[in-house]
Structure 1
Amino acid sequence: WSCVAATGTGNIIQMGGKMKALPAEMISRNNFSVWSILKKCIGMELSKIAMPVVFNEPLSFLQRISEYMEHTHLIYKACSLSDSIDRMQVVAAFAVSAVASQWERTGKPFNPLLGETFELVREDDGYRLISEQVSHHPPVSAFHAQSLKHEFEFHGSIYPKLKFWGKSVEAEPKGTMTLELLKHKEAYTWTNPMCCVHNIILGKLWIEQYGTVEIVNHSTGDKCVLNFKPCGMFGKELHKVEGHIQDKNKKKRRVIYGKWTECMYSVDPKAYDTHKKLEKKTGDAKKLKQHSCESEEEHEMSEGQETVTVIPGSALLWKITPRPAHSAQMYNFTSFAMTLNELEPGMERLMAPTDCRLRPDIRAMENGDIETASTEKERLEEKQRAARRERSKDEEEWATRWFQLGTNPHTRGEDWIYTGGYFDRNYTDCPNIY
Structure 2
Amino acid sequence: MVWTCVEEGWWIYWTKDVEYGAGRQEEKRRPQRRFMDVVKEDMQMVGVIKEDGRVRWRKKLPAEMISRNNFSVWNILKKCIGMELSKIAMPVVFNEPLSFLQRISEYMEHTHLIHKACSLSESTDRMQVVAAFAVSAVASQWERTGKPFNPLLGETYELTREDQGYRLISEQVSHHPPISAFHAESLKEEFKFHGSIYPKLKFWGKSVEAEPKGTMTLELLKHKEAYTWTNPMCCVHNIILGKLWIEQYGTVEIVNHRTGDKCVLNFKPCGMFGKELHKVEGHIQDKSKKKRRVIYGKWTECMYSVDTKVYEAYKKSEKKSGGEAKKLKQEQSCEAEEADEMPDVQETVTVIPGSALLWRITPRPAHSAQMYNFTSFAITLNELEPGMERLLAPTDCRLRPDIRAMEHGDIDLASSEKERLEEKQRAARRERSRDEEEWSTRWFQLGTNPHTGAEDWLYTGGYFDRNFTDCPNIY
TM-score normalised according to structure 2 size: 0.86
User: Could you say if the C-alpha distance between residues 350 and 28 of structure 1 is closer, same or farther in structure 2, counting changes exceeding 3 Å?
Assistant: same
Aligned to 1:408: 449
Aligned to 1:90: 129
Letter in 2 for 1:77: K
Question: Once the 2 structures are TM-superposed, how far is the Cα of residue 281 of structure 1 from its aligned partner?
Answer: 1.6
In 1, Cα distance between the equivalents of 2:112 and 2:84? 36
User: Could you say if the C-alpha distance between residues 143 and 251 of structure 1 is closer, same or farther in structure 2, counting changes exceeding 3 Å?
Assistant: same
Q: Is the 8 A contact 1:238 1:293 kept in 2?
A: no
Residues 336-367 of structure 1 show CA distances to partners (whole Å, capped at 9, x for unaligned) of 00000000012110100000000000000000
Question: Once the 2 structures are TM-superposed, how far is the Cα of residue 391 of structure 1 from its aligned partner?
Answer: 0.1
1:199 aligns with 2:238: yes
Question: Once the 2 structures are TM-superposed, how far is the Cα of residue 276 of structure 1 from its aligned partner?
Answer: 1.1
1:3 aligns with 2:36: yes
In 2, Cα distance between the equivalents of 1:139 and 1:348? 26
In 2, Cα distance between the equivalents of 1:42 and 1:293? 17
Residues 59-107 of structure 1 show CA distances to partners (whole Å, capped at 9, x for unaligned) of 0000000000000000000000000000000000000000000000000
Aligned to 1:14: 46
Q: Which has the higher helix share?
A: 1
Tell me the secondary structure at the aligned position of residue 246 of structure 2. strand
1:351 aligns with 2:392: yes
Tell me the secondary structure at the aligned position of residue 358 of structure 2. strand
Residues 360-402 of structure 1 show CA distances to partners (whole Å, capped at 9, x for unaligned) of 0000000000000000000000000000000000000000000
Aligned to 1:296: 343
Q: Is the 8 A contact 1:5 1:11 kept in 2?
A: no
Tell me the secondary structure at the aligned position of residue 66 of structure 1. helix
Q: Is the 8 A contact 2:165 2:188 kept in 1?
A: yes
Q: Is the 8 A contact 1:4 1:12 kept in 2?
A: no
Alignment of 1:277-292 (within 5 A): 277-284=316-323
In 1, Cα distance between the equivalents of 2:43 and 2:244? 43
In 1, Cα distance between the equivalents of 2:454 and 2:460? 17
Aligned to 2:434: 393
Pick the aligned partner of 1:24 from 60, 63, 66. 63
Q: Is the 8 A contact 1:141 1:157 kept in 2?
A: yes
Q: Is the 8 A contact 1:120 1:130 kept in 2?
A: yes
Aligned to 2:188: 149
Question: Once the 2 structures are TM-superposed, how far is the Cα of residue 293 of structure 1 from its aligned partner?
Answer: 7.0
Question: Once the 2 structures are TM-superposed, how far is the Cα of residue 54 of structure 1 from its aligned partner?
Answer: 0.3
Letter in 1 for 2:343: E
Tell me the secondary structure at the aligned position of residue 169 of structure 1. strand
Alignment of 1:73-152 (within 5 A): 73-152=112-191
In 2, Cα distance between the equivalents of 1:430 and 1:104? 36
Name which one, 1 or 2, has greater alpha-carbon Rg: 2
Alignment of 1:193-272 (within 5 A): 193-272=232-311
In 2, Cα distance between the equivalents of 1:15 and 1:196? 33
TM-score normalised according to structure 1 size: 0.95
Q: Is the 8 A contact 1:15 1:347 kept in 2?
A: no
In 1, Cα distance between the equivalents of 2:224 and 2:201? 36
User: Could you say if the C-alpha distance between residues 15 and 122 of structure 1 is closer, same or farther in structure 2, counting changes exceeding 3 Å?
Assistant: farther
Q: CA RMSD in A?
A: 1.7
Alignment of 1:361-400 (within 5 A): 361-400=402-441
Aligned to 2:364: 323
Higher relative contact order (CA 8 A, sep 6+): 1
Tell me the secondary structure at the aligned position of residue 118 of structure 1. strand
Tell me the secondary structure at the aligned position of residue 260 of structure 2. coil
Letter in 1 for 2:46: Q
In 2, Cα distance between the equivalents of 1:90 and 1:357? 32
In 2, Cα distance between the equivalents of 1:354 and 1:200? 32
Question: Once the 2 structures are TM-superposed, how far is the Cα of residue 13 of structure 1 from its aligned partner?
Answer: 3.6
1:47 aligns with 2:97: no
Identity %: 85
1:360 aligns with 2:401: yes
In 1, Cα distance between the equivalents of 2:214 and 2:383? 28
Aligned to 1:166: 205
Unmatched runs of 5 consecutive residues or more in structure 2: 1-33, 49-55, 325-337
Letter in 2 for 1:60: S
User: Could you say if the C-alpha distance between residues 310 and 80 of structure 1 is closer, same or farther in structure 2, counting changes exceeding 3 Å?
Assistant: same
In 2, Cα distance between the equivalents of 1:161 and 1:307? 31
Pick the aligned partner of 2:72 from 19, 33, 43. 33
Q: Is the 8 A contact 2:38 2:162 kept in 1?
A: no
Question: Once the 2 structures are TM-superposed, how far is the Cα of residue 2 of structure 1 from its aligned partner?
Answer: 6.3
Q: Is the 8 A contact 1:235 1:293 kept in 2?
A: no
Question: Once the 2 structures are TM-superposed, how far is the Cα of residue 12 of structure 1 from its aligned partner?
Answer: 4.2
Tell me the secondary structure at the aligned position of residue 11 of structure 1. coil
Aligned to 1:303: none
Residues 249-269 of structure 1 show CA distances to partners (whole Å, capped at 9, x for unaligned) of 110000000000000000011
Q: Is the 8 A contact 1:93 1:264 kept in 2?
A: yes
Aligned to 1:428: 469
Tell me the secondary structure at the aligned position of residue 296 of structure 1. coil
Aligned to 2:8: none
In 1, Cα distance between the equivalents of 2:274 and 2:38? 53
Residues 41-63 of structure 1 show CA distances to partners (whole Å, capped at 9, x for unaligned) of 00000000000000000000000
Q: Is the 8 A contact 1:119 1:128 kept in 2?
A: yes
Question: Once the 2 structures are TM-superposed, how far is the Cα of residue 11 of structure 1 from its aligned partner?
Answer: 2.4
Aligned to 1:418: 459
Tell me the secondary structure at the aligned position of residue 384 of structure 2. coil
Question: Once the 2 structures are TM-superposed, how far is the Cα of residue 275 of structure 1 from its aligned partner?
Answer: 1.2
Unmatched runs of 5 consecutive residues or more in structure 1: 286-290, 301-305
In 2, Cα distance between the equivalents of 1:115 and 1:95? 27
Q: Is the 8 A contact 1:160 1:171 kept in 2?
A: yes
Q: Is the 8 A contact 1:222 1:246 kept in 2?
A: yes
Alignment of 1:327-342 (within 5 A): 327-342=368-383
User: Could you say if the C-alpha distance between residues 2 and 155 of structure 1 is closer, same or farther in structure 2, counting changes exceeding 3 Å?
Assistant: farther
In 2, Cα distance between the equivalents of 1:401 and 1:278? 58
Letter in 2 for 1:231: C
